[in-house]
Amino acid sequence: MHLLLPLTLLFLAFFSFQHEAIDYTSMVFPVNKHTDAAKPLYSMTLMTAYVNVQWHAKFLIDIEGPFSWHDCVLVWNSLPKSSCPNNKLCAGPISCEEFECTEVRTSYSYDSPSCPPINNSSTLPGWGYCTCPVNVMNPVNGKCTQSELNVDRFAANSSDGRNSFLAYHGINLHAACAPSSSFQSFPKNVSGVMAFSASRYALPAYYYQSWIKTSLALCLPSTTSSPGVLFFGEGPFYLLPHSDVDLRSLLSYTPLLKRPDSFSYYIGVNAIVIKQRSFEVVENTTARLSTTEPYTMLKTDLYHWVVRRMSMVTKRMPLATPVAPFSLCYRMFFNNGTLVDLSVPDIDFSLQDGKNWTITRDNSIKHVTKDVACLAFVDGGAKTEQAIVIGTFQMMDNFLLFDLENSTFGFSSSLLKMNTSCSNFNFTNSFETYPL
C-alpha cells in the first residue's frame, strides 16, 4: 500500500522513520551508468514529490555544480487542488525578492561565458511576485539555459550500510526548474542534476548539523547492467561478498581541498609514477575531481609524459591506430579463441601526504572496439589552469569517500583486486518498513 500513500502526506510529514532494530546511518541511492549520451555519465535514482506519474527519477551526479536542477514546473498554489500539469514534476517558486535569490545569483551561480544575462521578467499567473531566473549549465553539451529557482522536495531510502530500506528520508532544498528541452541531450530517462559540491546551495550544505553526517560515498559501476551505489551519510559501508569488511577500513586518506574560487573538490598530487619512473608535478598541484568528465584530463606536458612512458614500458604490445580522444591504443589479441588481457603497469598518483591512488588496468585501459583498447586519459591542453582533472573512468569500481565534515578524501583503489565491485551493494532487504 505504500505506493498508494498520498505523496503530499508523505512530504508534509518530513520524518525519517527509525526502525527499532536498525541503525540507519545514511541515505542510499542506486547509481546507473549511461552510455547513450555524447559521453558516459552517471545518475542516481531518487524519489520525487508532487508526482503525477513519476515515482523514481534519475539525476546526473555532479560533484561540482553550485545547485541542483531538473525538469519541473513552478506552481505556487499546489494546495488544496494541485495545479501541477499531468506528467510533470512541480515545485514551489522562490521570489526574486528573497535573499536566497540574490545570493544564488550573485555568489552560487553556474559560471560560464556562454550564459546569457538573467532578468526578472517572469511572473506566475495569480502569484503577485517575480520569479527568480537563474542560469544552469548543461554538463552534456555545455549550453546555458535560464531556469527558475524553487523550493524542492525529494526523498531517499535509508541504509545501515548493508541494505537499502524503504524508510524515507526527506531531502528539502533549493533547486531550479529547467524546461524539458534542456534534457534532450541527456541520457534517456535522466531528468535532472543533483549537485554535491561545496556550494551553500548544493545538497551537502542542507545537512549541516543534522543527524545525517555530511559525507558522500561514491561507488560508480563499470557496467550499465547493474547499479553501483551512492551513500550520503556516515558508514559503515559493505559490499558483497564481504559482509564483515567495512569498506572504510580499506581506504587510504588524503586531505580534501577546496578553493575559494570554486565549488569543486581537489586533492594534492606530488607525482605520477609508472614503473618506478615518476613525473614530479609543480609544487602544490591539485587535481580536481569531476563526475561529469569521463576520462582523466592531464595538461599537455604531463599527458605526453604519461603516453611516452606507457608506450615505452609496453613496447612489445602491438599498437592500433589511435581512436579519438585517445592517442595510445593497442590491438587486442586472441590466444586459442580467448581474449588475452593487456598487461600494462599500474599508474600511481602519488598524493600530497605520500599515499598512492593506484590506477590499475581496469581504470587505465578502455576497450573501444572488439579488438582495440586505449589508454583512457585525455590531453587537457597546454594552457589549462587545471593540470589534472580526475574523471569517472578512473573512479569506476573504486570506493570513494568525501568526508566533508573532516575534509578528508578516502579512496580504495580498484575493488576488483578485493574480489568485489561497485555493483555489489545488496539492494534487497529482508523486510520493508512503511512511513506510517
Ligand X SMILES: *[C@@H]1O[C@H](CO)[C@@H](O)[C@H](O)[C@H]1NC(C)=O
Q: Would you tell me which residues interact with ligand X (CB under 6 A)? A: 30, 45-47, 56, 96-97, 116, 118-121, 130, 146, 157, 163-164, 166, 188-189, 213, 215, 234, 240, 273, 283-284, 336-337, 348, 350, 354-356, 403, 405-406, 418-419, 426, 428-430, 432
Nearest-approach distance from CB 319 to ligand X, in angstroms: 25
How many C-beta atoms lie closer than 10 Å to residue 80's C-beta?
A: 6
| Spatial distance between the Cα atoms of 169 and 16, rounded to a whole number of angstroms | 5
Task: State which residue, 107 or 121, has the beta carbon closest to ligand X.
Answer: 121
Nearer to ligand X, 189 or 311 (CB): 189
Q: How far is the CB of 307 from ligand X (least distance, A)?
A: 19
Residue 348 or residue 379: which is nearer to ligand X going by CB? 348
* DSSP assignment string, 318-350: PEE---TT-S-EEE-EEETTEEEPP----EEEE
Nearer Cβ to ligand X (261/432): 432
* Minimum CB–partner distance for residue 65 and ligand X (Å): 20
Beta bridge partners, 109, equal none
CA 300 from centre of chain: 26
Measured between alpha carbons, how far is residue 99 from residues 68, 139, 204 in Å? 18, 27, 20
Cell 524546461 maps to which residue?
A: 179
In whole angstroms, how close is the CB of 321 to ligand X at the nearest point? 29
Identity of the amino acid at 55: W
> Can you tell me the distance from the alpha carbon of 202 to that of 53, in angstroms, rounded to the nearest whole number?
26
CA torsion through residues 241, 246, 250, 256, sign: positive
Query: Least distance from C-beta 401 to ligand X, angstroms?
Result: 8
Closest to ligand X by CB, 9 or 240: 240
**Distance of closest approach, residue 36 Cβ to ligand X, in angstroms:** 6
Q: Which is nearer to ligand X, 242 or 304 (CB)?
A: 242
Among residues 70, 65, 129, the alpha carbon closest in space to that of 263 is found at: 65
Nearer to ligand X, 46 or 218 (CB): 46
Nearer to ligand X, 293 or 348 (CB): 348
| Residue 69 main-chain phi, psi, to 5 deg | -155, 155
> Which residue is it, cell 559490499?
239
Tell which residue, 157, 65, 74, has the closest CA to residue 112: 65
Which of 65, 268 has the CB closer to ligand X? 268
Q: How far is the CB of 325 from ligand X (least distance, A)?
A: 25
* Least separation in angstroms between CB 155 and ligand X: 8
Q: Least separation, in Å, of the C-beta of 255 and ligand X?
A: 11
User: How many residues comprise the chain?
Assistant: 436
Place of cell 598530487: 269
Nearest of 286, 253, 202 to residue 407 by alpha carbon: 253
Q: Are 58 and 43 in contact, with CB atoms under 8 Å apart?
A: yes
Question: Which residue type, as a one-letter code, is found at position 431?
Answer: F
CB 79 within 8 A of CB 8: yes
